[in-house]
Structure 1
Amino acid sequence: MKHNYLLIFLVLFLVNVQAQDTVKVATNLTPEQIAEQDYNSGLAALKKNECAAAVELFNKSLTAKPNFDKALANRAIAYIHLKKHTEALADINSAILLNAQNPEFYFNKSLIFYDLNQKDSQTVALDNCLRINPAHVEGCYYKGISLYDSKDYDKSLEFFTKAITANPNYVYAYNDRASTKRAKNDYAGAIADYEKAISLDNSLVFIHNNLGSAYRLNKNYAKAVEAYTKALQANPNYLVALNNRGSANFENNNLKAAQTDFEDVLKKDPKNAFAYNNLSSIAIKNKDYKKAKDMASQSIANDPNNGPAYYNRGIARQMLREEADCCSDWKKAYELGVSNAKNFINASCLD
């Protein structure tokens, strides 16, 4: 999941400031009004990701109104973005002491632990949020993410569905529910959810890439290539999609197109270990074992923990009669999680 693409939601609480008389303009504001003005200015700064400025404005608001729970909660969000987690946690705990029944405060607290990768504490905060409001959209969404990370895919689906029920236009929930279905090998369900997400927002290139991967796993290579190409049309430098399109072409035995894609990756990123190893796979298929060995070695040079590259180099070395070296490569591949390497070790390596 991408997990590289999960959002930090800004939980913003707007305060309605009374409209001033157009003739009798108030010149002496009460501390409450000053607090509300600075608070709303802080929200505006936070929306623009001007987090340091937002903190200063929330400080001023809290000086005028020290028990302003929503200013504390949103200053916590600003602190999260500034990676000041100790300050964020202090603020959100103070807000909860002032109002223990506001689900947004517990959700904000969960974001602190999410950013710190403290999963148990995040779960407690999310559960408190959902205890107060079981239909809290972002709470359900992040609960789904947490369960996905724990590989509890059935429960994860349940919470992503709750988020979608609460907000039927929630693009990220559709994307992540699709990824959960993909993890359960429900490729048709994943494709339907990815396509729904794209219908809601066609601009998110990573969802086109995810759709391509679902089609690829479903062995519909033409549709996979089409989806990857749409991602690349939106962002020609999206190398994940370019590498994936090459893999789809490779699996569809379109080796010439695959080689072009992998070589194009290397033109943009000369140290891309995945592309080198994929070129090694093409060379093995073409029985060019010297090139396969060289490409795998380039991959390993750029990523010494690339198990599939050791696996490929082992195959190439075996075909080049480098018996001792191929066994060393397969053993390394197996150590790095390539389970198929065990078959070669058992068949070809005496020790």
Structure 2
Amino acid sequence: MKVLLSFFSILFVFTNAFAQDEELQAKKDSLIQNDSLYQVAEAERHYNKGVTLMEQDKFSQAISEFDLALNVLQDFSKAVFNRGMCFMSMKQYDKAIGDFKGTLKRDSTYHEAHFQIGRAKLEKADPNAAYESFSMAIQMEPKEAKYYYYRGMLYFQKTDYKSAIKDYDEAIRLKHNYAYAYNDRGSAKRKLDDLTGAIADYTMAVKSDPGLSFAYNNLGSAKRQNKDYKGAISEYNQAIRLKDDYYIAYNNRGMAKYELEDYEGAVSDFSKAIKIKPDYAYALNNRASALIRLEKYKEAVEDCNLAIGKNSDYAYAYYNRGIAKEMLRELDDACADWQKAEILGVEVAAEYRRVTCVK
């Protein structure tokens, strides 16, 4: 009986010891779990602070917070990605690309990282690499409108307007009020001489976002090309109302007024464009054209001189200066200008020389 009691006593001791070991392990596991939870919480605290600083355009400080988050939690893909976005905003594109690649190492499904690599490559004037990144983003997430829009931009730059239109179509299908996609699709259609389609798209662009001054300007230019000069002026007015220093819109409105034979109004608009951008050679030459119509030949010559000073190969400035000089009875100089214009590709200048200059 004593032996039996002794056995149970030993058994009890061992059982109690095992219970103590399990309890100790549970405490250790709990500590490890609590430590991990603390690390996650600490990383998220730095991450959230970084996001707030990003929203305030304090990018260097935001980067410091994302660094701290990553020191605590190395696999924090969002922290790496947002640090890359900070570098993008600071135009440090190589560092940005490094972070976006780091994001993909941590999370290979992070399609936005491919897209941002494409944007950075675009900024680095590497359109082929950008195209690959945008295409990869589309492959991973075919329902994101902006991925198609950006690839469409690349097609447009390559003058592949039909492919650009296809990508803009898809962007608009996914996002019906995508004003930028409507605007750019309109520009692609205009390049393909589809003025009706271009006007429809520009109209949708300003309807989707009435604050887009450049879309009104583009709509005006499409209408002007379609010989709807009054309609064009109306659109340019809207562009200028939204952006009062929009020198391109002033120049374009001046061209529409010129077509309506409102030469004084044209001179006024060209002058406003030049005041905003004094080196705007196109506006200087256009003002010279209007001044010739107003028989102000000396002023026209002065404007052509300025335009040529800005761009020594400006063919139409030589052509217009030749016309003004002919009217000032400076025939030799006029013929020299027309010869230069002809060399630079203005075919009508050759006809002027043939009729006026051949003795």
TM-score normalised to structure 2 length: 0.82
Specify which of 216, 232, 240 is matched with residue 224 of structure 2: 216
CA distance in 1 between counterparts of 2:268 and 2:308 reads 21
Bigger mean CA offset, 156-165 vs 78-87: 78-87
1:296 touches 1:312 (CA, 8 Å); kept in 2? Answer: yes
Superposed displacement of residue 220, structure 1: 0.5
1:121 to 2:135 alignment: no
Superposed displacement of residue 303, structure 1: 4.1
Aligned length: 325
2:84 touches 2:97 (CA, 8 Å); kept in 1? Answer: yes
Specify which of 76, 86, 100 is matched with residue 108 of structure 2: 100
CA distance in 1 between counterparts of 2:291 and 2:220 reads 24
CA distance in 1 between counterparts of 2:338 and 2:69 reads 63
> Match of 2:129, as an amino acid?
S
Show the counterpart of 2:209.
Answer: 201
1:45 touches 1:53 (CA, 8 Å); kept in 2? Answer: yes
1:178 to 2:199 alignment: no
1:73 touches 1:108 (CA, 8 Å); kept in 2? Answer: no
1:264 to 2:263 alignment: no
CA distance in 2 between counterparts of 1:346 and 1:37 reads 79
Show the counterpart of 1:163.
Answer: 171
Bigger mean CA offset, 328-337 vs 278-287: 328-337
The residue correspondences of 1:187-336 to structure 2 (distance < 5 A) are: 187-330=195-338, 332-333=340-341
1:135 touches 1:162 (CA, 8 Å); kept in 2? Answer: no
Show the counterpart of 2:53.
Answer: 45
Q: 1:164 to 1:337 in 2, by over 3 A?
A: farther
Bigger mean CA offset, 76-85 vs 113-122: 76-85
CA distance in 1 between counterparts of 2:166 and 2:350 reads 38
- Root-mean-square deviation over aligned CA pairs: 2.6
Structure 2 residue runs without a partner (length 5+): 1-33
1:242 touches 1:261 (CA, 8 Å); kept in 2? Answer: yes
Tell me the SS of whatever aligns to 1:237.
coil
Superposed displacement of residue 116, structure 1: 0.9
2:81 touches 2:100 (CA, 8 Å); kept in 1? Answer: yes
Show the counterpart of 2:29.
Answer: none
1:225 touches 1:249 (CA, 8 Å); kept in 2? Answer: yes
More helix by share: 2
The residue correspondences of 1:67-78 to structure 2 (distance < 5 A) are: 67-78=75-86
Show the counterpart of 2:67.
Answer: 59
Superposed displacement of residue 164, structure 1: 0.9
Specify which of 101, 109, 120 is matched with residue 117 of structure 2: 109
> Match of 2:301, as an amino acid?
K
Show the counterpart of 1:4.
Answer: none
Q: 1:63 to 1:329 in 2, by over 3 A?
A: farther
Q: 1:336 to 1:71 in 2, by over 3 A?
A: farther
Residues 175-226 of structure 1 deviation map (CA, whole Å, 9 limit, x = unaligned): 1111111111111211111121212221221111111111111110111000
CA distance in 2 between counterparts of 1:328 and 1:50 reads 58
% identity of equivalent residues: 33
Superposed displacement of residue 265, structure 1: 3.0
Residues 257-291 of structure 1 deviation map (CA, whole Å, 9 limit, x = unaligned): 21222233344444443332112101233344333
> Match of 1:64, as an amino acid?
V
2:103 touches 2:113 (CA, 8 Å); kept in 1? Answer: yes
1:205 touches 1:234 (CA, 8 Å); kept in 2? Answer: yes
TM-score normalised to structure 1 length: 0.83
CA distance in 2 between counterparts of 1:265 and 1:72 reads 45
Residues 227-262 of structure 1 deviation map (CA, whole Å, 9 limit, x = unaligned): 111122222222211111111110122212212222
CA distance in 2 between counterparts of 1:194 and 1:75 reads 36
Structure 1 residue runs without a partner (length 5+): 1-25
Q: 1:30 to 1:121 in 2, by over 3 A?
A: same
CA distance in 2 between counterparts of 1:337 and 1:65 reads 64
Superposed displacement of residue 112, structure 1: 0.7
Superposed displacement of residue 335, structure 1: 6.2
Flag the structure with larger Rg.
2
Structure with larger RCO (C-alpha < 8 A, sep 6+): 1
